[in-house]
Amino acid sequence: MDSSLLSLSKNQMMKIELYLSERKLLIEQALERLIPKADGTFSDLIKAMRYSLFVGGKRVRPILCLAAAEALSQEKNLIETLLPTACALECIHTYSLIHDDLPAMDNDELRRGKPTNHKVHGEAAAILAGDGLLTYGFELLSNPENVLSAERRLKICHLIAQASGPTGMVGGQALDIANENKTFPFELLQTIHRSKTGALISCSIQVGAVAAGASTEQEKDLLRYGSLLGLAFQIVDDLLDATATTEQLGKTAGSDKKHGKATYPKYFGIEKTKDIALETVAAAKESLASFDHKAAPLREIADYIYSRTC
Ligand code: IPE
Ligand code: IPE
Ligand code: MG
Ligand code: MG
Ligand code: MG
C-alpha cells in the first residue's frame, strides 16, 4: 500500500499536533490537581510516583478517552466530567511503564527521556510507585465525587480492571517475558501485542464511549476501532524500536533485539511491518464510517499513530 495515502498533509499535521498538545496540557493540569502532593508521611513514595507521571509522555490513552466521548456528544461539561477517568488511565499506563522497565522485566535505563524510575529511586521504591499508581487509578475511578453516574462508574471500573489485568495488559506482559528468545507462531505474537498494549488503548476508547452514553452499535464500532488502533500502536512501537534513535524515542532504541523480544519487524522485516501498520490503521478508520465530523480527532489520531516518530 502507498504510504502517502495515509500520511498527514502539512495542514492536517499542524491541526492534530495542536489538538494533541492542547489535550496534553489539559490532562497534565488535571493530573497535577488530582495526584497527591509529595509532602507529609508518604512523601518518598509519592515523589517516586510523580517522577514517572510528570517526566513526560504523549498521554495517548487519556486523549483517546476524551476524543471517543467527544465523537458522540459535544455536551458542554463532558470533558470536565471525564478528566478524573482519563487521568486514571494515565496512572495505570505509567505504572505499567515503571514495571516494564524493571531489571526483572525489560531492564531498561531510559524512559520518557529520563533515567527509569528504579535507576533514580531504587528497585523497591519503583515497584511500590507502580503499585501506588495502579491503585490510585482505581481510587480516582471509584471516587463517589466523580460526577459520572454510579452505574457508569462501575462499568468503567470493570472495563479498566479487565483491560489491565491477567487477561489484558498484565497477561500480555507475562507472555512477552515468558517468550523472550523463543520462536512461536504469528498468532501468539498478535495475542501478546493485543493484550500487553492493545487492551488498555482499546479500553480507553470504550470508556469514553460509555461515559458519553454510546448506543450498543456505536460502542461496537468504537471497540473495533480501538482494538485495531491498539494493535497498530504496538506494531509502530516495535518499528520505532528498530528504526529510531534513543534521543528521538526518549527510551533506549534497539532494546527489543537485545532482549530477544518477538516483534513484527522480527517476523516480517521493516518494510512489510510498515505495510501492516498502515493497513491496520486504515481498517481502524473504516470502523468509524458511521460517525460524523465529531469523530475527526479519532480519525486523525489514527493517522498520527502511524506516522509518529516517538
Ligand atoms: C509505551 O507507550 C509503551 C507501550 C505500551 C508501547 P507510549 O508510547 O504511549 O509511552 P508514553 O506514555 O508516551 O511515554
Ligand atoms: C510494553 O511494551 C507494553 C507495556 C505494557 C508497558 P514494550 O516493552 O515494547 O514498551 P516500551 O518499548 O518499553 O515502551
Ligand atoms: Mg516490555
Ligand atoms: Mg519495554
Ligand atoms: Mg517497545
Query: Residues 129, 116: contact at Cβ < 8 Å?
Result: no
Residue 234 CB–ligand 1 contact under 6 Å: yes
Confidence of residue 14 (pLDDT cuts 50, 70, 90): confident
Rounded average pLDDT over 150-155 = 96
Domain ranges of the chain: 3-307
Distance of CA 239 from the midpoint of ligand 5 (Å) = 9
Instruction: Read off the C-alpha cell for 157.
Output: 471500573
Q: Kindly give the number of the ligand 2 atom that is closest to the alpha carbon of 173.
A: 5
Q: In angstroms, rounded to a whole number, what is the distance separating the alpha carbons of residues 242 and 263?
A: 9
CB under 5 Å of ion ligand 4: residues: 100, 106
Q: How far is CA 221 from the centre of its chain?
A: 19
Q: What is the pLDDT of residue 2?
A: 41
Distance of CA 90 from the midpoint of ligand 1 (Å) = 10
Answer positive or negative: Cα dihedral of 285, 289, 290, 292: positive
Distance of CA 310 from the midpoint of ligand 4 (Å) = 14
Read off the pLDDT of residues 236-265 as tens digits, 9 standing for 90 and up.
999 999 999 999 999 999 999 999 999 999
pTM of the model: 0.96
Q: How far is CA 63 from the centre of its chain?
A: 9
Q: What is the pLDDT of residue 173?
A: 98
Q: In angstroms, rounded to a whole number, what is the distance separating the alpha carbons of residues 15 and 24?
A: 14
Read off the pLDDT of residues 217-231 as tens digits, 9 standing for 90 and up.
999 999 999 999 999
Give the number of other CB atoms < 10 A from CB of residue 195.
Answer: 24
Cα 143 to Cα 61, 146, 188, distances in angstroms:
20, 5, 37
pLDDT of residue 194 exceeding 50: yes
Q: In angstroms, rounded to a whole number, what is the distance separating the alpha carbons of residues 84 and 307?
A: 29
Q: Determine the topology of domain 3-307 in CATH.
A: Farnesyl Diphosphate Synthase (1.10.600)
